[in-house]
Amino acid sequence: MKGIVIYQSKYGATSQYAQWVAEALDLPFVNRESVTPLMVAGNDLIIVGTPLYVGKLLIAKWLEENAGLLGEKKVLLFIVCGSACDDPVLQQQVINNNFGHVLSKYAGIFFVPGRCSPPHLSWIDRLLLKIGAWREKDPERKKAMKEGFDKMGRENLYQLLARARELMNEGKHEEVQYVG
Ligand SMILES: Cc1cc2nc3c(=O)[nH]c(=O)nc-3n(C[C@H](O)[C@H](O)[C@H](O)COP(=O)(O)O)c2cc1C
């Protein structure tokens, strides 16, 4: 089964995860900006990585534009984020608010913790984060929004990689049956 990792990232956390996923599964990884329709069409397994910004998937527009093509594929989505990572209610809201009807057809959606370093953000992102921190009630999340956080780690990809391997194995069986 042919596969590809497609990602979009603003400050590097998602591209780091995309690279780790690609290495673990021996697949190519490509920035969304360089992806052509042929690349999507030519693969059976599409692993998409995106960060979450103010409740929105950074790659949402691309997912919507390519919904037709992706509908014929096995798609895994990983969402790199902060507080949404350990909040199932928030996660469901994220799915519902980002073309939930399209996302519900995917073979798996995984939330993985990323990183955020306020001094390295654009002024607009720093401002958005300050507003978020001001509105946040939970003290731990408020602190993370003010001071930043780094929860990056290959171990966060365990479930995603397990699901990807499962799909790749299913693909192998299908190929064998077809040949036989
Ligand atoms: C302005 C801003 C808004 C964010 N909004 C959210 C959010 O709504 N939910 C969440 O869980 N994380 C949020 N985050 C955290 C990012 O998703 C996290 O830092 C991620 O690792 C960024 O990935 P990237 O480096 O690939 O761009 C936000 C971060 C910033 C700077």
pLDDT digits (tens, 9 = 90+) for 11-60: 999 999 999 999 999 999 999 999 999 999 999 999 999 999 999 999 99
**Domains in the chain, please, with CATH?**
3-114+151-179 (3.40.50.360)
Give the distance (Å) from ligand 1 centre to CA of residue 14: 10
pTM given for the model: 0.95
If one residue of 15, 17, 52 were mutated to test the ligand 1 pocket, choosing by the most ligand atoms within 8 A of its CB, it would be 52
Gap from CA of 64 to ligand 1 centroid (Å): 20
The CA distances from residue 121 to 5, 57, 88, 117, in Å, are 25, 18, 27, 7
User: Is a pLDDT exceeding 90 seen at residue 104?
Assistant: no
In a 3-state reduction of DSSP, which class is residue 2? coil
| pLDDT tens per residue across span 129-169 | 999 999 999 999 999 999 999 999 999 999 999 999 999 99
The pLDDT value given to residue 100: 78
Under a CB-based contact definition with an 8 Å cutoff, are residues 52 and 46 in contact?
A: no
Residues whose beta carbon lies within 6 Å of some atom of ligand 1: 9-14, 51-55, 80-84, 114-116, 121, 125, 128-129
